[in-house]
Structure 1
Amino acid sequence: MRTADPLHLQLLRLLRDNGPVSRAELADQLQIPRPRLLSELERLVATGFVTEAGMAASRGGRRSTLVELNPNLRFAAVDLGASSVDVEITNGRLEPVAAYTEAADIRQGPKVILHRINELLAKARVEGVHDRLDAIGIGVPGPVSYRDGVPVSPPIMPGWDRFPVRELLTREHGCPAVVDNDVNIMAIGERHGGVAHSVDDFLFVKLGTGVGCGIYLSGEVYRGIDGCAGDIGHIQVDPQGPMCTCGNVGCLEALFSGAALGKEAAVAARAGTSPALAERLTQRSELTARDVAECAMEGDVTCIRLIRDGGRRLGGVLAGLVSFANPSMIVIGGGLAHLGHILLAEIRSVVYRRSLPLATGNLPVVLSELGARAGVTGAAVLASNVAFEQAS
C-alpha cells in the first residue's frame, strides 16, 4: 500500500481548516522553502484537489496568488444511530451543502439500512448537490474494526457483525470510505469544531440508546488494538443489577441509558410515584428519556431523582477514568445530554469528589457544543482525511 505524503496531508488539511491561503503564507506556516512548496502545490493542482483563488493582499512587492481546496469537492458524512440516521453532504471546507435526517431502526440489518443511506446519497445527486462523491465517512453504534471497516459483535446491531460496510459503500459510490464507532466520530467532530477545539486530551461521553466514550490522547483518537476502546457502557456498576444487551449483568448501560431511563420512567408512572409521568403514560404507549427531562424541568421530584441516580452511576465510572487517563476535559453529548444541568451537576459532584485533586483541579466537565451535529461533523473530517490520503 502506498504511504500518504505527510506534507501533502498537511497542506490539504490547512486549506480545509483555514480556507484560501496565499502561497507565501503557506510557506511560512509549514516552514519549508518556497520552491518546494510551489512544486508540491503543482502536484496537488494536477490531482484536482487544489485550485487558484485570486490574488492575495500585498505584503510589499509582488502579490502572491491564493490557493484553496477545489470548491467542487464533496464529502458524505453519515451518523447512524440505533433509531435514526443523519446524512450531510459537505464541501471541501466541511461546510454542509445538504442534510437529511430520518428515523431508522438499526435492527433492520445492514442491507436495509445501507440501501436507504445509498438512496439518500443518490437523492442528493439528483438534486444537484454533487456530481460525484470524493469520500464517505460513517459512524455506527457499536464496536468497529477501523482497520477492516466492519462492525464487530455489536450488541444492539443484529446481523451487522463483520458486514463489509466500507467495501459496500466504496463499490457503490466509487470513492474511498471510512467506518468508525459513532462516539469516536462525535469526539472527532467536537475536536474539529466544538468545545474541545484546542484540547488534545479529552473524553467525549455519548449518552443515548447506549453509552460510549471517545478517547482523545495527544491529539488523536485512541481506538485500542481491536477498535473497542471506550466501551464504558459495559463496565459493571452493580453486580446485582439487570441483564444487559451484552449478556452480562449490572452494566452502566443497563442502568443508565435512553432505554433504561424510559423503563424506569414507566415503572415510576405505574407505581404512582410520579403523577406527571403517570399522566403522560395515559396518552401514549411508552415513555422516553425526554419525558423524564421535561417533567424534571417542571419540578417532578421522581424525575429529578432518576436523573441524579444516573448521573451518580456515570460519575463513578468517569471518576475511575479520570484517575486512569488524567484528561484535560470531559464532554457530555448524545441524546441524553438534554437532561441538562441536573445531570451535569451530579456528574461533576461525583467526579470531583472521587478523583484526586491533582487530576480535577483544572478539569471542566461540559456539554457538547455541537450537539446533534457532532457525529456528522466528525464523519466529514474522517471522509476528508481518507480522501486527502489517497490524493497524496
Structure 2
Amino acid sequence: MTARPANTHQARLLHLLRDGGPNSRAQLGDQVDLSRSKLAVEVDRLLDTGLVVADGLAASRGGRRSHNIRLAPTLRFLGVDIGATSVDVAVTNAELEVFGHLTQPMDVREGPVAVFEQVLAMAAKLRDSGVADALDGAGIGVPGPVRFPEGIPVAPPIMPGWDGFPVREALSQELGCPVMVDNDVNLMAMGEQHAGVARSVQDFLCVKIGTGIGCGIVVGGQVYRGTTGSAGDIGHIQVEPEGRPCACGNRGCLEAYFGGSALARDAEAAAVNGQSPELAAILESAGRLAASDVASAAAAGDPAALDLIRAGGARTGQVIAGLVSFFNPGLVVIGGGVTGLGHTLLASIRTQVYRQSLPLATGNLPIVLGELGSAAGVIGAARLISDHLFSPA
C-alpha cells in the first residue's frame, strides 16, 4: 500500500474508522472539528486513495440520509509477537479483527535469522490459507528494548545475537511492505487498549510476566518508550539488596526471583528437596519443570506451589506498588504466560500493592488480568503498523 493520509484530519478519520468500525459521514462530523463541506472534501480524498470505501446508507437522522464509510475491507496487516520461548503470527483487517492466528514454540536465543525464517514460514502459511492476498504492513514485537525510530533491538538481555540487528529493514524487504518494531510488552499494552480490558483507559500500566518481566506504560493514550526505548524494564528493579545473581549482571533483580525461568528453577528445587510430591512427580515424568507445571500443582492444592506463586506475586506487587505511587495509573493489567497462575497470583499482587501504596493512588485502582491472552501482542502489533500507516505521510 503506497497511499497515506495527506493531513491530520484524514489521519483522525482513519483512526476513528479503525477503532469504531464503519460510520456515517454525519457521525464522523460530530467527532472531528470540521465543517460539513470540509469534511466532505477530506472524505472524498480518502475515498480516492482507496483507504476507505462507501458502505451503504446510514440510518436516517432526519433529512437526507448519510452514506456510511468504512476502511477498505481488502487491507491486511501482519502482527508478529516474538516471545522468549514462542512466536505468535496473525493476520488482521484494518479494524484489527484477527482473521488467522498461529502459535509455535521457538527459542529467541537461536538468533534473528532462525526466528525470522520461522516467522516468514508462518506468515506464508496464513497467506496460503486465504486470509490475505497481500500484506499492507507488519508490526513486530521482540522481548527486549528497541530503538524505536530505526526498529533495532538494543542490548537485549535474553536475546543473544540480536543487538543491533536491523529487524525493520530486513523484514520489510522480505515481506514487501512497511514494518514497525517495538518491545513486546508495549504491544501487549496496545492490544489490551484496542480490544481488551484497557479500552476506556488513558493512563495505565500493563505488566507482562513471561520468561522475564516487563511493563508497558501508556500515558494519555500513547505508549511511553523513554529516551532509549528501555522504559518499563521493571524486571531489573532490585527487590533484594545483594540478592540472587541476575542474567543482566546485577544482583537481587525482580526477574531473578520471579518470571517463568525463576519459577521453574525454584519449582525444581522444591521437587528435589522433597517439599512438593506433586512437583516431584511431574519432574520425574517430564524431566524438567515449567511455570505451567507450578500452575497445575497449585490447582491440585499443592502447598509448595501455592507458596511459590504467592512469594512471586508479593515481590512483583512490591515493584508495582512503587510504580503506582510514582505514576498514579487508572488501571494495572497483568498479562503474559505466567498469568496461567491465575487468581492466586493476582490476589498476591493486589494485596501487596494495596498494602504498600497510598490510599489516594489505590482507592479506585483496578488490578486485573488481561482479557486477550496470546492475541494481545499480535493485535497490538497490527495497531502499531496501522498507527504508522494512518499517520500523515
Question: Normalising by structure 1, what TM-score?
Answer: 0.97
Report if aligned partners of 2:5, 2:390 keep a CA contact under 8 Å in 1. Answer: no
Secondary structure in structure 1 of the residue aligned to 2:296: helix
Amino acid at match of 1:192: H
Instruction: Give CA-to-partner distance per residue, 1:300-352, whole Å, 9 cap, x none.
Output: 11111111111111111111111111111111100111111111111111111
2:159 aligned residue: 157
1:360 aligned residue: 362
Displacement of 1:224: 0.4
1:300 aligned residue: 302
1:121 aligned residue: 123
Amino acid at match of 1:254: A
Q: 1:345 aligned to 347, 356, 376, which one?
A: 347
Distance 1:228 1:319 in 2: 20
How many residues end up aligned between the 2 structures?
Answer: 390
Displacement of 1:218: 1.5
Distance 1:160 1:330 in 2: 30
Amino acid at match of 2:54: E
| Aligned pairs (5 A) from 1:1-392 | 5-389=7-391
Which moved further from structure 2: 180-189 or 292-301?
A: 292-301
Report if aligned partners of 2:5, 2:11 keep a CA contact under 8 Å in 1. Answer: no
- Consecutive unaligned residues of structure 1, counting only runs of 5 or more, are none
Secondary structure in structure 2 of the residue aligned to 1:41: helix
Report if aligned partners of 2:17, 2:23 keep a CA contact under 8 Å in 1. Answer: yes
Which moved further from structure 2: 65-74 or 112-121?
A: 112-121
Secondary structure in structure 2 of the residue aligned to 1:79: strand
Distance 2:126 2:367 in 1: 38
Secondary structure in structure 1 of the residue aligned to 2:286: coil
CA 147–3 in structure 1, closer or farther in 2 if over 3 Å, else same: farther
Amino acid at match of 1:160: W
Amino acid at match of 2:277: P
Displacement of 1:60: 2.1
Displacement of 1:119: 2.0
Distance 2:286 2:25 in 1: 61
CA 3–90 in structure 1, closer or farther in 2 if over 3 Å, else same: closer
Distance 2:5 2:248 in 1: 38
Q: Percent identity?
A: 57
Instruction: Give CA-to-partner distance per residue, 1:174-197, whole Å, 9 cap, x none.
Output: 221110000000011111111111
Question: Normalising by structure 2, what TM-score?
Answer: 0.96
Distance 1:172 1:4 in 2: 27
Amino acid at match of 2:177: C
Distance 1:177 1:121 in 2: 14
